[in-house]
Structure 1
Amino acid sequence: MGLLITCTLVTTLYATTITIANVSLPQIQGALSASPDQVAWIVTSNLIATAVTIPLAGWISARFGRRRAMMWGVAGFGVATLMCGLSTSLGELVFWRVLQSGFGSPLTPISQSVVIDEFTGEKRGPAVAIYSMGVGIAPTIAPLLGGYVSEEISWHWVFFILLPIAFVAFVGVLIFIKPDPPREERAKLDWTGFLSLSIAIACVQLVLDRGEREEWFDSMEIVLEFSLALLCGWIFLVHSLTSDRPFLDLRLLLERNFALGIGIATIFGMLFVTPMVMIPAMIQQLRDVPEFTVGLLIAMRGIGTVISQVMMISFAHRWSPRLLFFIGFALHTYAGLLMARFDMNVSLSEMAWAMAIQGLGVGFLWVPMTLVTFSNFDPRRSAEGMTLFHFLRSIASSYYISASFVVVFHTQKMNYSDLVQWINPFNDRLSFGGVMGGWNAESATGLAGIVGEVTRQATTIGYINSFNLFLWTSMLVYPLVALIVWPPRGYRPRA
């Protein structure tokens, strides 16, 4: 039990950094003089660094052993977290967030592979459920704690409060994780695969983050970044399929259930973090809502997750994974439908209900994703498989958040142009201030008020469009679920 708790705490430590920082984004935006899309780099830089470094988990485990890897990962994470709290500029904070993720992201597949290896047979389902529930509880509490600390003290303290947890996790690794000798002391890192993949991922992220601001392919910067992404992506693909020891072995996808599980995890990654970023950004951009209230909204999602994960402890082996997938993603679809119906007058309780429904769906998905993905998988390559699993999930989260903000800002500009054409002195409806609630296009003050309202309406439409994207994305997974082979045949070595 000590091992399970330690692995859960180590994974929780990294998972907490996403939700605890989201609550403070508006305060950080004001303190560091950043725009909404720029402050989103605090989240996307963390996720993209996760995508780049999480594939290193397999090599790190083989080269240094899982215990040593977890020790250095937790220690480095703690130092980077301290420096995040001490940051005084956006560039500095993004830099330390990248390092924080660089040290923390390999901890997730390594600790999860420890749980999978230590708990076999019928013990695996309940163990994974407890592991998932523990990982879900902390991100539930984190927004509340982060919102309170940010509101009462400063945004810097949302990072400082993680340091005691990092210390406890480090001690737990020392005590409960068994020393394991490196499997391959001379294991070499595939630098060609690593560098080509890293450059491709970073370039695509830059295109998504800066494309709207730079007018997309009218900008030479975007053209160069996109071209470099294509070139490096091609190099990575060819090298991975021809090398004996590739950085990421794409041939693992030849196993049907593993490939389907990876595809489902990718779509899940798109949906997993996005509402926790988009809804706080929406209400704090359009309304003056305290950080603690935003924390309550995010916590409602966590409460829904915990409820369903508690249910999974009992039903993990009683319900078919296909049924659990359909339930979990149907709840995501319903949550997307609720969010797509938001408007300027949406109440906080309606937002909280949508978040809780999405969280309930999340809790139903972790266990079947793990069981299906690794049902027929070679246990000797569990670390590599878990690395690919979390890599695609993380990169999907990062790209999807950036794409959602692109939808918001692009459609905001389009709708602003459509609406503002009616704001002119020749519109008779705007000539009667008393009738229009004090708006009068014939005065500078009245005109400014009208333009401000048009901006709010256009921004709201932009966010609604991003929620419609969430809704349609949630429907992509159902054909993949239908193709799952269950019950599994188990791992069979190839002749």
Structure 2
Amino acid sequence: MTDSRAFSPEPKRFMITLAIMLATIMQTLDSTIANVALPHMAGGLSASQDQITWVLTSYIVAAAIATPVTGWLSGRYGRKTIFLISIAGFTASSLLCGIAGNLLEIVAARLLQGLFGAALVPLSQAVMLDINPPERHARAMAVWGMGVMLGPVLGPTLGGWLTDNFTWRWVFLINLPVGILSFLGVYYYVHEAKSKLLSRFDWFGFSMLAIAIGMLQLFLDRGEQADWFGSIEIRVEAACCVIALTFFIVHTATSGSDSFFNLKLLRDRNFVTGLAFYFLLGLLLYATRALLPPLLQTLLGYPVMTTGLVTAPTGVGTMVSMLFAGRMVGRVDSRLIVALGFGLTAASLWQMAAYTPQITEWDVAWPGFVQGLGLGFTSVPLTTMTFSTLEKHLRPEGTAIYSLSRNIGSSIGISAMQTLLARNTAIMHSSLAAYVTADTLVSRPDALSRAFDLSTTAGLAGLDAMLYNQASFIAYLDDFRLMFWLTVLALPFLWLMRKKKAPDGEAPDPAAVAAE
């Protein structure tokens, strides 16, 4: 029940809005701000390129695990209490990220950041609705939606500027003043809503799913380095994942409506198809964001600030297309709008797969903008279609599972693409090195001697480094090409979804689901 004091006078409403929007922007900003700083983090923490992506995947997995329990916690302990704990925890873990001295410390801090940050966006939306009367809800959600989208837009540019002018640590330390101001604003101006006595939460089912997801992520992140099933560690992680997932499936099948995952959700074809597409959307979006900064900075020598600027248009494209998509839903077949979005995404990946070492900043910015357009045209109508046939009482559970599918897709996508990148780089390096034989050096001495003194160890090392860079570049293009084909092959399955308006009430707000 909403507190009667919630509909506050204008000045107080402004202060509450400012406080919760600071929390929202802080959380959404961290979804992109660290990407451009990854190569600098790798150098500062003595981590390899595939290891440093754990900074991204640990945050995503933790947020994915914590998001479904947000509603139960706020109903059990009070929305304001959970909001304050989340802001304080997110701010403190940001400090831990900023002062981390090695890879293990920053990954642990990012796990905490994801756990505490999971509640910030859904709770900020709930508070915005509570403090505004019904006639102001549309305006309030417009303001809130702008804040949600502002973080991903500003993230790459701000991250590049902070890293270039200060150090990568400020990518996280910038959250401290924002978090403190947000905490004080919520503490002084937001009143506690009455807690709801919710039904018992399925902690066993939730724990089994969390363990399965965590073990799967460790399996993917560590597999390439630990020689996959040749390592005891990887075999243990795989076994734990299978056992936990088995417990979850059996528990879900035998617990009925008391389980964490309601099996009735699987009876809705639109919802199941939507889960698959949202999983793929998370994979494409976050894997691309994780691949581009190392490619630009490590192989092409882009300054970190330039990297931030040329990757920022993705967020701009998303903002532009979401404005149009919202107006098109209801007037145009939503499947056609999603197909347009996936088509634009495929076009951007095709352009990325055609990169050469001579690409310009425009060659990077334009495909990113097109991919952003594709994301905006996809997320709004896809969310609408996914929930359009779902019964109203199943939508709260469906929203949590829907957000979970994208987060799992994101973490798996980053890990899988980094694994393929490392493997394909090694394969291509061996293939290219096979052409540099003694006969080649004899037949074409001038071509190589102008760049390297092949009679010295340093010269041979330089030649090997050049071959490695060429192999890495080809491996990046292979990743982009694979994602292109995944996008194209998924398109026909859109027509598994039915055209049908929601039978009662409205589907969850697309911007809210996208931000969780």
Question: Considering the TM-score relative to the shorter chain, is it more than 0.5?
Answer: yes
In structure 2, the residue corresponding to 1:20 is in which secondary structure? coil
Letter in 2 for 1:32: L
Q: Distance in 2 between matches of 1:150 and 1:395?
A: 28
CA gap 1:168/1:383 in 2 versus in 1, 3 angstroms: farther
The residue that corresponds to 1:258 in the other structure is 271
Which stretch shifts more, 199-208 or 95-104?
A: 199-208
Letter in 2 for 1:207: F
Which stretch shifts more, 158-167 or 269-278?
A: 158-167
Kept in 2, the 8 Å contact 1:9–1:135? The answer is no
Q: Does 1:327 align with 2:340?
A: yes
CA gap 1:435/1:183 in 2 versus in 1, 3 angstroms: closer
Q: Does 1:467 align with 2:480?
A: yes
Q: Does 1:29 align with 2:45?
A: no
Letter in 1 for 2:165: E
Aligned-residue identity in percent: 33
The residue that corresponds to 2:27 in the other structure is 14
Q: Deviations over 1:144-163 (max 9, x none)?
A: 12211111112121112123
C-alpha displacement of 1:69 = 2.6
Which stretch shifts more, 439-448 or 381-390?
A: 439-448
Letter in 2 for 1:343: T
1:281 to 287, 294, 305: 294
The residue that corresponds to 1:402 in the other structure is 415
Kept in 2, the 8 Å contact 1:431–1:440? The answer is no
The residue that corresponds to 1:193 in the other structure is 205
C-alpha displacement of 1:212 = 1.2
The residue that corresponds to 1:242 in the other structure is 254
Q: Distance in 2 between matches of 1:128 and 1:306?
A: 15
Q: Deviations over 1:351-375 (max 9, x none)?
A: 1111111111122223223322332
Kept in 2, the 8 Å contact 1:46–1:97? The answer is yes
Kept in 2, the 8 Å contact 1:433–1:439? The answer is no
CA gap 1:307/1:175 in 2 versus in 1, 3 angstroms: farther
Letter in 1 for 2:62: A
The residue that corresponds to 2:361 in the other structure is 348
The residue that corresponds to 1:41 in the other structure is 54
C-alpha displacement of 1:384 = 2.4
The residue that corresponds to 1:268 in the other structure is 281
Which stretch shifts more, 377-386 or 257-266?
A: 377-386
C-alpha displacement of 1:35 = 0.9
Which stretch shifts more, 144-153 or 9-18?
A: 9-18
C-alpha displacement of 1:318 = 3.7
Q: What TM-score do you get using the length of structure 2 for normalisation?
A: 0.86
Letter in 1 for 2:251: H
Which stretch shifts more, 155-164 or 111-120?
A: 111-120
| Structure 1 residue runs without a partner (length 5+) | none
The residue that corresponds to 1:371 in the other structure is 384
Q: Distance in 1 between matches of 2:454 and 2:113?
A: 51
Q: Distance in 1 between matches of 2:91 and 2:42?
A: 24
CA gap 1:403/1:304 in 2 versus in 1, 3 angstroms: same
Q: Distance in 2 between matches of 1:467 and 1:66?
A: 42
Q: Does 1:61 align with 2:61?
A: no
C-alpha displacement of 1:222 = 1.4
In structure 2, the residue corresponding to 1:23 is in which secondary structure? helix
| Structure 2 residue runs without a partner (length 5+) | 1-12, 506-516
1:291 to 304, 307, 310: 304
CA gap 1:365/1:122 in 2 versus in 1, 3 angstroms: farther
The residue that corresponds to 2:95 in the other structure is 82
2:223 to 211, 234, 250: 211
Which stretch shifts more, 376-385 or 397-406?
A: 376-385
Q: Distance in 2 between matches of 1:112 and 1:255?
A: 27
Kept in 2, the 8 Å contact 1:302–1:359? The answer is yes
Q: Distance in 1 between matches of 2:458 and 2:177?
A: 52
In structure 1, the residue corresponding to 2:113 is in which secondary structure? helix
C-alpha displacement of 1:28 = 1.3
Kept in 2, the 8 Å contact 1:307–1:360? The answer is yes
Q: Does 1:182 align with 2:231?
A: no
In structure 2, the residue corresponding to 1:180 is in which secondary structure? coil
C-alpha displacement of 1:431 = 4.6
1:165 to 143, 166, 178: 178
Q: Deviations over 1:134-183 (max 9, x none)?
A: 32222211221221111111212111212333345445656886643222
C-alpha displacement of 1:199 = 1.7
Q: Distance in 2 between matches of 1:381 and 1:113?
A: 19
Letter in 1 for 2:208: S
Matches within 5 A, 1:92-241: 92-111=105-124, 131-170=144-183, 173=186, 179-184=192-197, 187-241=199-253
